[in-house]
Amino acid sequence: MSKDIKTVLFDLDGTLADTAPDLAYALNCVLVEQGKPPLPFEMIRPVVSHGGIALTRLGFGLEPEQPGFAPLRERLLEIYRENIARETDLFPGMAQTLAAIEAQGMQWGVVTNKPAWLTEPLMEALQLSTRAACIVSGDTLKNRKPHPEPMLYACNLTGSDAAHCLYIGDAQRDIEAGHNAGMRTLVALFGYIGEQDRPEEWGADGMVQSAPEIMEWIDSNADQ
């Protein structure tokens, strides 16, 4: 076991939990309500980590400042909240990874840009709320990732220095946020990586293809 990693922090969508099926369902519900055809899941999945704004842009070709954008986004999130754990589950091997982190005496927590009114019921539905050492949402503080503020707030909540934290995410802003806070970082390649993404250029300390590789990386690299 690594002696210097005390806390493992996860992005939520596309890293800890596979939320894409439920977010895709919500977007397609809104599209159908508006008389538009639903989009294929394969088109929606890579956009999920970028949130409701990106999903609304994908579905309707609108920008946030354009008329009609706000009510469409609000409707999408309303449907999503009503179906927040319809199909969502942890990624394969993640439950065992969380158990292994706990068994080795480390803590784990979540730092997400998802707003608390969606984060908290999802964590409850996954039965993870009482196990997480911290849950920092996108509206917990003034700033969101890639700003380091939520990362450093997670350090404060867990009592860990940033140098003793590992942050795992599936978007470039996750790696930037971890670096900005002085943490080590891993890219979750099993997450919502788009064809245009270049995770090898994000500057992470490592990349993992599956959840079980997280503990392997910690055991083999964290002391270096």
pLDDT of res. 4: 87
Q: What's the predicted TM-score (pTM) here? A: 0.95
* Per annotation, catalytic residue among 11, 18, 22, 170: 11
User: Is 89 a residue of the active site?
Assistant: no
Say which residues have a Cβ less than 8 Å from residue 216's Cβ, sequence separation at least 6. none
pLDDT of res. 223: 54
User: Is 197 a residue of the active site?
Assistant: no
Judged against a pLDDT cut of 70, whether residue 117 lies above it is answered with yes
Quick one: angle between helices 69-82 and 116-125, nearest 10? 20
pLDDT of res. 193: 95
Judged against a pLDDT cut of 50, whether residue 1 lies above it is answered with no
Nearest to 22 by CA among 96, 118, 94: 118
Say which residues have a Cβ less than 8 Å from residue 187's Cβ, sequence separation at least 6. 168, 169, 170, 174, 175, 199, 202, 204, 206, 207, 208
- Render pLDDT for 192-219 as a digit per residue (tens, 0 to 9): 999 999 999 999 999 999 999 999 999 9
* Per annotation, catalytic residue among 13, 18, 174, 205: 13
